[in-house]
Amino acid sequence: MAAAKKTMTLNLTDAEMGALEELCVKKDLSKTAVLRQALRLYQTVETRVGRGAKLFFEDDQTKEKAEVMML
Amino acid sequence: MSVEISSAFLLDVAAGQAVAAELWDAVTEQQLVHWEDEWMPVQREFVERMKAAGVERALLPQSRHWDWRRKAEAFSGSLANPSFCVMCQGMTQGMMIVNTLHKARVASQAGKELIYIEYLENAPWNRRHFASDQPRFAGVGSLLMRAAIEFSREEGFKGRLGLHSLPQSNGWYSNACGMTDLGTDADYQNLHYFEMTPEQADTFIAKGN
C-alpha cells in the first residue's frame, strides 16, 4: 500500500545537491527517500525540543556531551 | 485523515477457511474504541482468571499494560511513526506502530535504514494463550509483518526491519519470521533485539506468511 503523494520542484545549489547525492550513495537511497527521512527527523527533533527536551551528541568513548542548538 | 485500505485475507480457524480482511495504513479513533470496548474487557477477564488460578506473573500476557490510546496520541502527526491495522468482520484484529528513524545493527546491514516496529499487537481472541480453545483468526501478525516489509521496501530500505520483542514473542520472531536474534539489549529493558535483513524479508514473503 502506497499513500497518495504530491510532486514538488526543489531548487538546490551545487553544494546542496552534492551533499544530497553524497548522502544518497552513503545511504543507498534515492534523493526522495533521503529528503523524506530528513523531513521526518527534522519534525521529530522540532517536536521533542518544543516539548522542552534537549538534543545532545555524545562521544562514544569519552561520554562527553555537546548540546545541539535548535534555532 | 485519509486512510489507504488494501484487501487481505485471514484464516478463520474454527471454519478452516480464508476470510476477507483489510489492511489500513493508519490506526484511527475507530481502532482505539475497539481496543477500549472490545479488547480490554477480554484481556482483563482473562488476566483475572489466570491470577485466580495461581498462574505466575511471568506467564501473564506481557503486553497487558499497553495503552494504545496513549501510544496513538504520543505518535499522532509524527511523520516518522506511521501506524497500521488489520480489520476483519468490522473489528480491529491487530495494530502496529513503526519508526523510520532507526539504523540496522546486524553486521551485513550495519548503519543502513530500517523500519523499526515500536509496537505490534494482536487482538486478545486471536492469541493462542488467550483463547479458551483456539484463536479466532490466524495470520494477523504475519499480515502486519508483511505490511512492515512492504513499507520498508517502498521507503527504499529493502525490507529491513528491527524490533525489541517481549519474551513471550521471541520464538515467533525467530522461528516464524526468520529474524536474526541479536541477543538482549541492556539499553532496552534487556529485551531481545531482532532484525530482518533484505534476504530474510524475501524469504518471509516467499513463504506466503
Indicate yes or no: CB of B101 within 8 angstroms of CB of A37. yes
For cell 530482518, name the residue. B196
Dihedral, A33, B154, B198, B176 alpha carbons, nearest 10: 140
pTM, rounded to two decimals? 0.93
Whether residue B63 lies inside any domain: the answer is: no
**How confident is the model at residue A25, as a pLDDT?**
95
Exposed e or buried b for every residue in B163-172, given b needs 16+ CB within 10 A?
A: bbbbeebeeb
In chain A, which residues have their Cβ closer than 8 Å to the Cβ of B150?
1
> Could you say which of A27, A28, A40 has the minimum Cβ distance to residue B101?
A40
Whether residue B109 lies inside any domain: the answer is: yes
Whether residue B150 lies inside any domain: the answer is: yes
> Could you say which of B5, B80, B157 has the minimum Cβ distance to residue A40?
B80
**How confident is the model at residue B69, as a pLDDT?**
97
Shortest distance between the Cα of A39 and any Cα of chain B, in A, equals 8
The answer, yes or no, to whether ipTM is higher than 0.95 is: no
Domain span holding position B145: 5-29+77-207
Task: Provide the sign of the torsion angle of the four alpha carbons B123, B129, B132, B136, taken in this order.
Answer: positive
Give, for all 209 residues of chain B, the pLDDT tens digit: 689 999 999 999 999 999 999 999 999 999 999 999 999 999 999 888 888 888 888 888 888 889 999 999 999 999 999 999 999 999 999 999 999 999 999 999 999 999 999 999 999 999 877 656 689 999 999 999 999 999 999 999 999 999 999 999 999 999 999 999 999 999 999 999 999 999 999 999 998 76
> Could you say which of A4, A33, A44 has the minimum Cβ distance to residue B101?
A44
Confidence of residue A56 (pLDDT cuts 50, 70, 90): confident
Which residue type is seen at B46?
F
**How confident is the model at residue B160, as a pLDDT?**
98
Whether residue B199 lies inside any domain: the answer is: yes
Shortest distance between the Cα of B4 and any Cα of chain A, in A, equals 6
Q: What CATH number did the domain enclosing B179 receive?
A: 3.40.630.30
Domains in chain B, number: 1
**How confident is the model at residue B128, as a pLDDT?**
78
Task: Write down the domain spans for chain A.
Answer: 15-67
Whether residue B138 lies inside any domain: the answer is: yes
Whether residue B46 lies inside any domain: the answer is: no
